[in-house]
Structure 1
Amino acid sequence: MKQDMIVILDLGSTENTTIARAIRALGVYSEIHPHDITLEELRALPNVKGVILNGGPNRVVDGAAVDVAPAVYGCGVPTLAVDHPGAQGEVLASWPEGQAACMEALKAFVFGRCQAQANWNMENFIADQVELIRRQVGDRKVLLALSGGVDSSVVAALLIKAIGKQLTCVHVNHGLLRKGEPEQVVEVFRNQMEANLVYVDAVDRFLGKLAGVEDPEQKRKIIGAEFIRVFEEEARKLDGIEFLGQGTIYPDIIESGTKTVKAVKSHHNVGGLPEDLDFALVEPLKMLFKDEVRACGKALGLPDGMVYRQPFPGPGLGVRCLGAITRDRLEAVRESDAILREEFANAGLEGKVWQYFTVVPDFKSVGVRDGKRTFDWPVILRAVNTIDAMTATVEDVPFALLQKITGRITHEVPGVNRVLYDLTPKPSGTIEWE
């Protein structure tokens, strides 16, 4: 079923995504497009029922004012100007302060002037994407790097639904995943979903490359580069692959920069394909926000542990084993992290705290175990809440729960004799330690 669409033209406002998400919350699909879209490009978009010109104080880019082509005003569908010199004035200019009034104005525009239908939902999205994937791929084959993260897992499930055995997933275990994650990937995709899954045990290879490396940025570069090499090697062992599936989502595209807005940060899956692999891209999630990706995963039948997986850094536990990575300290991170997650779940905090994890620094302190002196590592607990990851507050964890976690970690994790709780918000700290 083709969804009706409201197009937002990006004139530099910081509230494009807020408005797009608000329209989608009304059950109507919305996309953000660059300000310099042509009338022909706009008319080529499917089922456009209305256009929002979203300006604001950032409408000046590189010293010059940006605007849409005059022809866009006469595109043939209703147009709403937001904080922009247009016929409708500044209806939504004060979104943060007047959200209720802004939502009423949006409803009037979307359902009244545009006559859009509330037909944007996950079932329709999945049906449309299955059709589009089949049309794009035909009888050819697709390769997907399956990390076990939310985005790649949902893409895998969607591709399996669309093309089945034409998909080959490659899961690279670099030894830096959390406890049980590689096993979960194999169980869900190979055993339950009967996917073509290539499992690569590259633990020794990665840890060998990382031996003695202390600088966190250098660790990140080594992990990223080695992952690409391993994936390329596996890809070249397979015949007939013409497409590469990627878990690109809408924030990746927006943060990587548009013609109007400067890049916030680059994303490896936006314009980062090695040229010699020569694959066409299949990116069925590229217009979804993160919460929508999770909803898609639920609708596709993925387990909650995979769908609601916490944010996890690309280098994995490699940046939570502070300083030069050693196998024993890496295991201390993995085991203590598993205990923390288990106890938070038992206490009903799973899904209520945005992110929680452990880190183990590369220094030791004196302690006592079984009446004997020890010289072991501390484990640092981190639990934070955030909306946009730009700022973060520290979760007020009950002291009794901290005591229970401390007791378990110091008794169950070898080489550990202290547990500390990080009370630092962002700023002045960051969410991760490296």
Structure 2
Amino acid sequence: MQEKIIILDFGSQTTQLIGRRVRELDTYCEIVPYNKFPKEDPSVKGVILSGSPFSVYDDAAFKVNMEEIWGKYPILGICYGAQFISYVNGGKVEPAGTREYGRAHLASLDSGNILLKGVRNNSQVWMSHGDTITAIPDNFKIIASTDKVAIAAYEVTDAKVWGVQFHPEVFHTEDGTQILKNFVVDVCGCKQDWSPASFIESTVAELKAQLGDDKVVLGLSGGVDSSVAAVLLHKAIGSNLTCIFVDHGMLRKNEYANVLNDYNCLGLNVIGVDASEKFFSELAGVSEPEAKRKIIGKGFIDVFDVEAHKIKDVKWLAQGTIYPDCIESLSITGTVIKSHHNVGGLPEKMNLKLCEPLRLLFKDEVRRVGRELGMPEHLIKRHPFPGPGLAVRILGDITPEKVRILQDADDIFIQGLRDWDLYDQVWQAGVILLPVQSVGVMGDERTYERAVALRAVTSTDAMTADWAHLPYEFLGKVSNDIINKVKGVNRVTYDISSKPPATIEWE
């Protein structure tokens, strides 16, 4: 039985980050809503309470029944979680004099405490709260402070319970991983046996038991998630898996042929469908971004459904859904923020059972599994690419000519990143075709042609992203190549917006 840490989600934006950090310790964890603790699960080794946008004293604040976990499991409260534990046990939580965001430094450190083993005095931590714990119950002990926060961390002396008002999961907390390791390994006793190899072994066995001799169809996108899912399923059920790769006409330059070749080299049974004419026809004259997405989404479902029905006796639809797609994140109103499937609408339309072999993995774990499966690096390291493809990188209506221009410009940019050894330093990159034209001069002639924007960002999970600080020499070379080689473009700009407030894609 796979041991696990349970993370109770109170709606924090960094809850997924807690999960990722625990997984990086080679320990399996699950994120569940604050009120859905899995009772009587012998595999649970410890519990982490996340942050929250609420104050613990708000009437609408999310509250967990501590009787379900107190004294039964080691507990670590983070930010709101720490405040909640203190508050429900008789401590005081009050608005801070000033909202505390950003860097702070630990002081008065109890280095002998098991939670703080290996944590350096004066090490940097990251604060993000408007409330603070002003008094703790008698059986609580302060184990760390900062210059502004007297109770930065505490221990409950008669229970295996700790709380920290800072965020150990964020990058800016210098010894945050050490704190989480102390809790997960030293306190909870986890063996750190969660690995790509163990995941593959257990998942293949589960897929064989789940699917038996049934036939499965999977929609490939060319991205790492669906590709790894396909290889994993192929390892489990072999020829009973059929993959369908639909070209909606808005893929990268030569991508349809290149991806099909990659999949054939992997031994997968792939049906390629060139449906570009259908999509161009249905998108004609449509400029509104959400309308374009809906047309492409519905069109994909229709094409996929037709092709899948040509295969006899299919009972399962497989998808490359990953863990962030499945986590039931809560907004401050308690509504679900994200309930996403890679191929939305297909299971209902096709009346098939759903198989999602990667639904427990984060993106970086998917890549690790792909390497363990022996997949080529260029597939594993591919940048994320929007499902509607270049349709949402063409601002305005879609035409084959606009797609041709964007494909050519994008190909120069992406190949340039590879040639300059910059590709792997960037999370995602692409070119946007702008709905404007500008005056230029080529030779002795005046031109009035299109402008494009280059977009490249760095990130770890796409929740936040910074614009990539690419070398000026590189940007100058790419701009020159695009203007000289792509007919119809005479101006290149570079997008230096971060997320937030901007998004990675323009539409």
TM-score of the pair, normalised by structure 1: 0.89
In the alignment, which of 107, 110, 127 is matched to residue 201 of structure 2? 127
C-alpha RMSD of matched pairs (Å):
2.8
In the alignment, which of 287, 303, 322 is matched to residue 249 of structure 1? 322
Q: Per-residue CA shift, 1:139-170, capped at 9, x if unaligned?
A: 11111010111111110111111111110101
Q: Gaps spanning 5+ residues in structure 1: where?
A: none
Query: In the alignment, residue 394 of structure 2 is paired with which amino acid?
Result: C
Tell me the equivalent position of 2:67: 70
Residue 347 (structure 1) aligned with residue 420 (structure 2): yes
After TM superposition, where is structure 1 displaced by more than 6 Å over at least 4 residues in a row?
A: 59-62
* Structure-1 separation of matches of 2:482 and 2:354: 44
Greater displacement, 139-148 / 228-237: 228-237
Contact 1:59 1:65 in 2 (8 A): no
Greater displacement, 15-24 / 343-352: 15-24
Residue 417 (structure 1) aligned with residue 417 (structure 2): no
Question: How far 1:198 moved relative to its partner?
Answer: 1.1
Tell me the equivalent position of 1:237: 310
Tell me the equivalent position of 2:213: 139
Q: Gaps spanning 5+ residues in structure 2: where?
A: 90-158
Residues 1:428 and 1:8: Cα distance change in structure 2 (over 3 Å): closer
Contact 2:301 2:343 in 1 (8 A): no
Residue 34 (structure 1) aligned with residue 33 (structure 2): yes
**SS of 1:378 mapped into structure 2:** strand
Question: How far 1:362 moved relative to its partner?
Answer: 3.2
* Structure-2 separation of matches of 1:423 and 1:221: 29
Query: In the alignment, residue 165 of structure 2 is paired with which amino acid?
Result: A
Greater displacement, 77-86 / 148-157: 77-86
Tell me the equivalent position of 1:93: 165
* Structure-2 separation of matches of 1:270 and 1:255: 18
Query: Which protein has greater RCO, CA pairs closer than 8 Å, 6+ apart?
Result: 1
Contact 2:10 2:330 in 1 (8 A): no
Contact 1:336 1:358 in 2 (8 A): yes
Aligned residue pairs: how many?
428
Tell me the equivalent position of 2:46: 50
Aligned pairs for 1:252-291 within 5 A: 252-254=325-327, 257=330, 262-269=335-342, 272-291=345-364
Aligned pairs for 1:135-284 within 5 A: 135-189=209-263, 191-254=264-327, 257=330, 262-269=335-342, 272-284=345-357
Question: How far 1:33 moved relative to its partner?
Answer: 2.1
Query: In the alignment, residue 70 of structure 2 is paired with which amino acid?
Result: Y
* Structure-1 separation of matches of 2:406 and 2:468: 20
- Between the aligned residues of both structures, percent identity stands at 45
Query: In the alignment, residue 416 of structure 2 is paired with which amino acid?
Result: E
Contact 2:27 2:191 in 1 (8 A): yes
**SS of 1:397 mapped into structure 2:** coil
Contact 1:91 1:102 in 2 (8 A): no
Residues 1:402 and 1:244: Cα distance change in structure 2 (over 3 Å): same
Query: In the alignment, residue 318 of structure 2 is paired with which amino acid?
Result: G
* Structure-1 separation of matches of 2:235 and 2:209: 14
Whichever of the two has the greater Rg, that structure is 2
* Structure-2 separation of matches of 1:53 and 1:368: 61
Question: How far 1:305 moved relative to its partner?
Answer: 2.1
Residues 1:365 and 1:260: Cα distance change in structure 2 (over 3 Å): closer
* Structure-1 separation of matches of 2:298 and 2:335: 26
Residues 1:274 and 1:139: Cα distance change in structure 2 (over 3 Å): closer
Aligned pairs for 1:307-318 within 5 A: 307-318=380-391
Residues 1:384 and 1:126: Cα distance change in structure 2 (over 3 Å): same
Query: Where is the helix percentage greater, Structure 1 or Structure 2?
Result: 1
Question: How far 1:417 moved relative to its partner?
Answer: 2.1
TM-score of the pair, normalised by structure 2: 0.77
